[in-house]
Amino acid sequence: MEKRRIIVVCKHGLFAQGLSTLLHGREGIEVVGIETDEHRAMESIRKLKPGIVVVERGEECIPIDNLLSHVVRESPGSGIVGLSLGQNEISVYYGQQRQVRRAEDLLDVILRL
């Protein structure tokens, strides 16, 4: 089975490293990067084109909107998993982008989700 290549992006270094240890060695998963800085995260996503980006969400964290648009542009098809420490929540985003050529494109995208 092909491994899911994952980049962990968290402002808090301890959380980033802790998450990495939670995922490390799990079957089907390979952590290919851990980043705590927005610029370096963008660069890693561009270079490594991971299958999944795990992102810490929160007021003091790297803005997820910036990462979402970056992932869609630089690593289309990647999944994004947002983790909210404050609420103990996991949010899932699908990083896809397509050019709108006709109104039906919107319906097509919705039905494919």
**Residues at the interface with other proteins (CB under 8 A):** 11-15, 17-22, 36, 58, 60, 83, 85-86, 88
CB of 86 to other proteins, least distance (A): 8
For 96, the token pair is 């896809």
Nearer to other proteins, 13 or 76 (CB): 13
Nearer to other proteins, 18 or 76 (CB): 18
- The helix (H) or strand (E) run that includes residue 92 is strand 89-94
Place of tokens 């929540």: 89
Q: Please report, to the nearest 10 degrees, the dihedral formed by the alpha carbons of residues 66, 71, 72, 78 taken in order.
A: -140
Nearer to other proteins, 20 or 96 (CB): 20
CB of 65 to other proteins, least distance (A): 20
Kindly give the pairing relationship between strand 52-57 and strand 29-35.
unpaired
